[in-house]
A and B are shown apart, each in its own frame.
Chain A
Amino acid sequence: MTVTSTAVRPPTVVRVRRAVADARALTWRNLLTYVRLPQLVVFSTIQPIMFVLIFRYVFGGAIQPPPGQSYVNFLMPGIFVQSVAFGAVGTGIGLAEDMGKGLIERFRSLPMAQSSVLAGRTTADLARNVFVVFLMAVVGFLVGFRAGTGPLPFLAGVALLLLFGYALSWVFVLVGLGAANAETAQAVAFPTLFPLVFASSAFVPVESMPGWLQAFAANQPVSVTVDAVRALMLGGPTISPVLQSSAWTLGILAVFVPLAARRYRRAI
């Protein structure tokens, strides 16, 4: 007897369905890790709450909010964006750890949709951000934050900053895949993120900065996203900052998703 039939790739519909199922399975696995490791829970919940409280009660008194706004209302949109920006580092750290432990190698040897490794990681981190933003909104409410524009613009603001955080996650996918270990991923992350997050409109009005810094601070992606979220949650012109923020988000995704996918195929 001779067997000459050739292997057939499953039809596209099956492949897409499997890719979604694989990504869901890995999202579940990544979220389970957050639940299982107390230090990760602390990192992603206690730390953002501490930031809210410290800026509200320690620095807040010394910062002059724009006229007609309370500092806590000015602060909360900024601190939401800050937390998803720092959260993106976790994406890189998680991937670097999986690589170091040989898990990525195992995934790459399995007959699974390879796209699901990165999709599952970034989706899990998006889900974590949903939880963190919800938690911070509750804490913010307790310390006096009141969004004046109503639930729909508020949710639109949340969606905008979550998408921005998702795009940043892909930047750190690239960092994580290139890093030798979690510490390296972290070391690369903070020098790039700190200037973006703190030299921005997140915690202080840009007008309070020296002139040479204002040009950068007013136009960089964190600031335009904070401005857009602020406009959606507190009122003011929304179209320009929302468009600018969306352009950054889409631009980052357009550049970094293909780069990360290429890096993954060559990883290890």
Chain B
Amino acid sequence: MVLATHDPVTVPPTPYAAGMNEGAIVLQGVTKRFGDVRALDGLDLSVPPGTVYGLLGPNGAGKTTAVRVLTTLIRPDQGHARVLGLDVMERPEEVRSVIGLAGQYAAVDENLTGRENLRLIGILTHLPRPAVNPRAAELLERFELTEAADRPVRTYSGGMRRRLDLAAALVHRPPVLFLDEPTTGLDPHSRRELWRVIEELVGSGTTLLLTTQYLEEADRLADRIAVVDGGRVIAEGTAAELKARMASTTLELSFHDARTAADASELLRPLAGSPPLVEGTRVELSVDDGQRALIDALRDLDRAGLVLASVALREPSLDDVFLALTGRRTSGGGGDDPDGDRAQADRGRVPVGRKIG
């Protein structure tokens, strides 16, 4: 008998085929009300197979509700939702067999060990019994939880729990994966670690829908991004397209005196899309290509003999994106920046603080 190297778990045959002109994940005019609140207000979405799609929006935008509709947890009031061509309302059981969900809360049993959690999911998703233990061990290894595997989850750190939660979503090798705010509440180190894990994951042809409040996260992980507000998509495109359309990179310069700042703003005006903003000794320029503008600005200033105190590039945050798209700020104010880089840049005027995507 020939043993396959993979567990003999196959995706159930579905009417969906890669050649069809339908996204792996589709929402069409989906609405959902909770009492007076319109959580989804005609949401349309199509995620091409094998890609990573980011749903970006503030708290209450409807991101989680969209994920819950797609993962069969709630029924939409109107509209259609399909995963791999399977209607979530008509064929919820089959939808569940092709999806994995990792939620905002680490939905793992904290009284069980990491290994027991994964074994339980393996049994519940009907892996062949001999495959259950190897699959759990393989995932523990891949998510660097082998050492903690036999400790109760209540002893895990926040980052470890999220990794285990993600591993639990992958046990039955679902071709479509939903990650609902996978890094919310994590410290910057754990967040980067989880990003790395997710990046490794998506190489393998998995279709991934990711919700996030962090532009940086969507930018780093997603092929395409939909900005969601009030239960609708208000902008859609690649990260670069969105940033170009909605909010540009800000080049922040500061000088030792206001006079120099005024001169510099005159000098650098051609670099910016709109007139530079001058505030005392500070000058802010909205630019499309941050790195190019930085080089040009430094060269021009040097030639003109204007001495800089500090310079920084600030990538647009979700807050900036929202301001550009809707004219209002997100309720969280500046709190969208995932790990305080922006705050640090503002405070310390760190020279060229950011790598621009």
Contact = CB atoms under 8 A, between A and B. Distances in A.
Interface of A: 1-9, 18, 21-22, 25-26, 29, 32-33, 36-37, 101-103, 105-112, 116, 268
B96 A110 contact: yes
B13 A111 contact: no
Given A7-B12, A101-B107, A108 B121 contact: no
B124 A110 contact: yes
A21 B73 CA distance: 23
A18 B13 contact: no
Interface residues of B, number: 41
B47 to A, nearest CB: 18
- Most chain A CB neighbours (cut-off 10 Å) among B93, B100, B116, B172: B93
Contacts of A101: 105, 107, 109-110
Contact of B13 (A6, A9, A26, A112): A6
Contacts of A4: 15, 17
B99 interface: yes
B14 A6 contact: yes
A37 B111 contact: yes
Contact of A106 (B13, B107, B110): B107
- Most chain B CB neighbours (cut-off 10 Å) among A102, A106, A108: A106
A7 B14 contact: yes
Contacts of A6: 13-15
B41 interface: no
Interface string B79-121: 0000000100001011011011101111111111000100011
A103 B19 CA distance: 36
B81 to A, nearest CB: 14
B96 A111 contact: yes
B125 A25 contact: no
13 contacts: A2-B19, A4-B15, A6-B13, A21-B126, A26-B120, A36-B152, A101-B107, A106-B103, A106-B108, A109-B96, A111-B125, A112-B96, A112-B126
B15 A25 contact: no
B74 interface: yes
Given A102-B105, A268-B73, A268-B74, A112 B111 contact: no
A36 B151 CA distance: 12
Given A105-B107, A107-B124, A110-B125, A7 B94 contact: yes
Contacts of B198: none
Nearest to B124: A112
B286 interface: no
A109 B178 CA distance: 11
B86 A7 contact: yes
A32 B112 contact: yes
Nearest to B116: A32
A8 B86 CA distance: 12
B25 interface: no
B168 interface: yes
Contact of A109 (B13, B17, B99): B99
Given A7-B12, A106-B101, A108-B73, A29 B112 contact: yes
A96 B116 CA distance: 21
B123 interface: yes
A111 B15 contact: no
A106 B168 contact: yes
Given A101-B107, A106-B103, A2 B97 contact: no
B29 to A, nearest CB: 23
Contact of B107 (A7, A26, A103, A111): A103
Given A105-B101, A109-B96, A268-B73, 7 more contacts: A6-B13, A29-B112, A32-B116, A36-B112, A101-B110, A103-B109, A110-B124
Contact of A5 (B13, B19, B109, B124): B13
